Amino acid sequence: METIRYQAIVLGAGPGGYPCAIRLGQLGVKTLVIEREYWGGVCLNVGCIPSKALITAGKRFEEIKHADQMGIIVGAPAIDMAKLQAWKGTVVGKLTKGVGDLLKGNGVDMVQGEAKFVSPKVLEVTGSAGVQRYEADHIVIAVGSRPIEIPGFSFKDGRILDSTKALALPEVPKRLAVIGGGYIGLELGGMLAKVGSQVTVIEMADQLLPGFDPEVVRLISRRLKKDKVTVELKAQALGWEEGEGGATLRFRTPEGEKSLEVDYILVTVGRRPNTDGCALENTGVAMEGRFIKTDRQLKTSVSGLYAIGDCTTGLMLAHKATHEGEVCAEVIAGHNVSNDAKTVPAVVFTDPEIATAGLMEHEAKAKGFEVKVGKIPFGAIGRALTTGDTDGFIKLVANAANNRVLGVTIVGPHASDLISECALMIEMDCECMDVGLTIHPHPTLGEGIMEAAKAALGEAVHVMNAKPRAAH
């Protein structure tokens, strides 16, 4: 069989792989990208984008229900799930088509098929056009991840949903159990609760969103309760049986074993890397558990092999994958660069949204920092009041030794958009006063960030300071 040669091959076209391939094309490297299923990866097809489309619909549905508070009188809203799914599909379709256009426009060749390593420099691809071998001096592994299945809850069963199936539901389930109170479970379960599903979340840890600031989690838990979501903590799913018109889920709680009648069980207990599907054993690449080990230039232990995104260690987030992909492309093109990002901001699209950059308060303390904390409730921000969305706060944590910003946690309206300024603060090693002295336009939610920085110094003017500071 003839082997086709490229300078670089990118394996996987998710938010790690496709930007990497585009950047390689821009840098003049003759590149092939191989994808078996989703141009745009999980993120564009069955992850970030479709979930946020549905979450937006859920939020708007709720806003319409409460519009009378602002004097807007409308009838009770109803969900046409087929229409909502079709709209979601057009959003996804526009973006995935854009990926193909950008790859082609930057001179990148695309092949659809399943790739397996024959050796560290050779891949065999089985696709609709048959079997073909490709060789390159540089191969980037960007194979991503998939949902974890738990014993007894097979995704092949119609009642058991993974995130992909949950995003494609043809109707709003009357009763839904969510196993796993992490971000994906709360985003999808929370959205379905807003449009009428009776949702129960079963979480093994003693709080939802394990690892998050407990103050934030308390607020989210209150909101879930308002949306009639039942939360079972320290609870473990044991199994399920088909019952009359539904599934009977059994789970263990500190109060004893319980059962629940539901229509579907959504399992969101985490994701595992797809490192078992591409014959990595033929490369000898060093692993950390199921994840591929890389250095700051995204190089693996094998010369000419790189890895990026969810299949490597670190946070499993799209923007982390993209950043790594772009750095990796420049490394392959011979630039002297490395991934030196100080923070990967993270967002949870619950209601309200949560966003973090840098260290959360408890993390900073656990690392031994003496901290100053500036906390501003959205209720003190004029713009928040004008939108009627005042639940939540901005918490800025600074190093008490030098007033440098260590992290910002936001729970509240538009947290996802507000956090980018905070990530920049951390990348730029800002001190609280750099933020406090930056004029923020009025009336905006961003003023809350400026005010939180001042509050950390005891100089906020729109809230009472915990410890007012007399002079500089």
| Residues 268-297 close enough to bind ligand FAD by CB under 6 A | 274, 277-278
Rounded Cα distance between 330 and 84, Å, is: 40
From candidates 42, 208, 209, 267, binder to ligand FAD by CB under 6 A: 42
Cβ burial, residue 199 (10 Å; 0-12/13-18/19+): buried
Q: Which amino acid is at 14?
A: G
Q: Quick one: which segment of 5-13, 149-157, 223-231, 358-366 binds ligand FAD (CB under 6 A)?
A: 5-13
CB of 42 to ligand FAD, least distance (A): 4
From candidates 6, 8, 41, 407, binder to ligand FAD by CB under 6 A: 41
CB of 64 to ligand FAD, least distance (A): 24
Q: Quick one: which segment of 100-108, 128-136, 148-156, 308-316 binds ligand FAD (CB under 6 A)?
A: 308-316
The answer to whether residue 16 forms part of the interface with ligand FAD (CB under 6 A) is yes
The answer to whether residue 36 forms part of the interface with ligand FAD (CB under 6 A) is yes
Q: Quick one: which segment of 36-44, 87-95, 211-219, 351-359 binds ligand FAD (CB under 6 A)?
A: 36-44
From candidates 140, 142, 298, 418, binder to ligand FAD by CB under 6 A: 142
The answer to whether residue 181 forms part of the interface with ligand FAD (CB under 6 A) is no
User: DSSP alpha helices (H): ranges in 268-344?
Assistant: 318-332
Q: Check: CB of residue 47 under 8 Å from CB of residue 40.
A: no
From candidates 62, 63, 109, 114, binder to ligand FAD by CB under 6 A: 114
Of 63, 1, 6, 16, whose CA–CA distance to 318 is shortest?
16
Q: How far is CA 459 from CA 70, 199, 455, in A?
A: 34, 43, 5
Cis, peptide link before residue 413, omega less than 30° from 0: no
Rounded Cα distance between 135 and 70, Å, is: 63
Nearer to ligand FAD, 29 or 33 (CB): 33
Q: Check: CB of residue 232 under 8 Å from CB of residue 202.
A: yes
Of 41, 8, 11, whose CA–CA distance to 25 is shortest?
8
Residue whose pair of structure tokens reads 């379709």 in the numeric block: 93
Q: Check: CB of residue 403 under 8 Å from CB of residue 372.
A: yes
CB neighbour burial string for 318-336, b if at least 16 within 10 angstroms, e if fewer = bbbbbbbbbbbbbbbbeee
- State both tokens at 15: 């938010």
Q: Quick one: which segment of 41-49, 91-99, 297-305, 460-468 binds ligand FAD (CB under 6 A)?
A: 41-49
Total chain residues near ligand FAD (CB under 6 A): 37
CB of 437 to ligand FAD, least distance (A): 32
Note if 472 is an active site residue: no
| Residues 379-438 close enough to bind ligand FAD by CB under 6 A | none
Q: Which amino acid is at 163?
A: S
CB of 245 to ligand FAD, least distance (A): 28
Cis, peptide link before residue 443, omega less than 30° from 0: yes
Pairing, β 198-202 against β 405-412: unpaired
Q: Which is catalytic among the residues 319, 323, 362, 442? A: 442
> Radius of gyration (Cα) for the chain, nearest Å?
24
Q: Quick one: which segment of 44-52, 211-219, 235-243, 283-291 binds ligand FAD (CB under 6 A)?
A: 44-52
Nearer to ligand FAD, 113 or 436 (CB): 113
From candidates 12, 25, 189, 352, binder to ligand FAD by CB under 6 A: 12
> Any idea which residues carry the catalytic annotation?
442
Q: What is the contact surface with ligand FAD in residues (CB under 6 A)?
A: 11-17, 34-38, 41-43, 47-48, 51, 114-115, 142-145, 163, 184, 274, 277-278, 309-310, 316-319, 321, 349
